[in-house]
Amino acid sequence: MTRLVVKVGGAVAGESTDRILGLLEEGHQLIVVHGAGPQISDEMKRRGIPIEFVNGRRRTSRAALDIVRESMQEVNAGLCKALGDVAAPIFGDEAGLLAVPVPPLGWVGDPLPCRPKQILDAMAAGKVPVVAPLAVGPLNVNADDAAAALALGLGARRLVFITDVAGLYVDDEVVDAINVSRANQMLDDGAFEGGIVPKLRAAALAAGSGITAEIGRTAVVA
């Protein structure tokens, strides 16, 4: 049985169920990590709270952190309902997901590879952990980074990003594969911007540690 971490973007959480259940039917052991980016931004706009991103990561004030949790709860509940009885809702800060605080970004953390017991227990019971990426603190953690950290900590073989784009675009075309060294060089050169930045960094980190990483149809390889 292959252990997979599947990261689902907030923009596609509602449409990701078939893909997740398909992977489960193939006999894989799954851990799902979801984002809630669009939902958080919409609510912050509604409440008049400024929105700011730094290298694809959300600057998070204490007021914004409350919105992050509320939005994560909404997405987590919807995804678990869609997946059915097999889903086990898990909030990272309650499960013991660890992160190093990043004070310049506010209530934000860089996640550390770890093996939260609540996730392991859910898998042992035959469930699919559906993880909201908050860390002990509480701290807001980028879902892409959280997925990579859990893939490393839990010994996953694959890290699959389900997103609203076909894959990684280089020179306006989706590439089938990119190696870690080129990916990191392009990131360092500022070739990408927005949400693809943490996604590609997370995929490159995983691939560099021997985990097969896929962003849409693009393979990130060592």
**Domain CATH code at residue 104:** 3.40.1160.10
Q: Is residue 211 part of a domain?
A: no
Tokens of 77: 């509940």
Give strand ranges (E) for 46-184.
Answer: 53-54, 57-58, 87-91, 99-101, 109-111, 128-132, 134-135, 139-140, 158-162, 169-170, 173-174, 177-179
Q: Is residue 193 part of a domain?
A: no
DSSP structure class, residue 108: B
Q: Is residue 209 part of a domain?
A: no
Looking at residue 200, what is its pLDDT? Answer: 94
Q: Are 6 and 31 in contact (CB under 8 A)?
A: yes
Phi-psi region of 90 (alpha: psi -120 to 50; beta: other; left: phi over 0): beta
Count of domains forming the chain: 1
Counting every residue written for the chain, the total comes to 222
Looking at residue 123, what is its pLDDT? Answer: 95
Q: Is residue 201 part of a domain?
A: no
| Torsion 154-159-161-162 (CA) sign | negative
Q: Are 116 and 154 in contact (CB under 8 A)?
A: no
Looking at residue 195, what is its pLDDT? Answer: 84
Q: Is residue 76 part of a domain?
A: yes
Q: Is residue 210 part of a domain?
A: no
Residue found by looking up tokens 């869609």 in the block: 82
CA angle centred on 28, ends 24 and 33, rounded to 5°: 75
The torsion angles phi and psi of 30, rounded to 5 degrees, stand at -115, 145
DSSP structure class, residue 137: T
**Maximum Cα–Cα distance for the chain, whole Å?**
47
Q: Is residue 207 part of a domain?
A: no
Low-confidence ranges of the chain (pLDDT < 70): none
Q: Is residue 194 part of a domain?
A: no
The torsion angles phi and psi of 34, rounded to 5 degrees, stand at -120, 155
* Closest to 111 in 3D by CA, of 97, 94, 90, 132: 97
Looking at residue 218, what is its pLDDT? Answer: 95
> pLDDT by residue (tens digit) across 103-115?
999 999 999 999 9
* Closest to 183 in 3D by CA, of 143, 137, 214: 214
- Residue 151 lies in domain: 3-165
Query: In sequence order, what are the residues at sequence separation of 6 or more whose Cβ sits closer than 8 angstroms to the Cβ of residue 61?
Result: 49, 106, 107
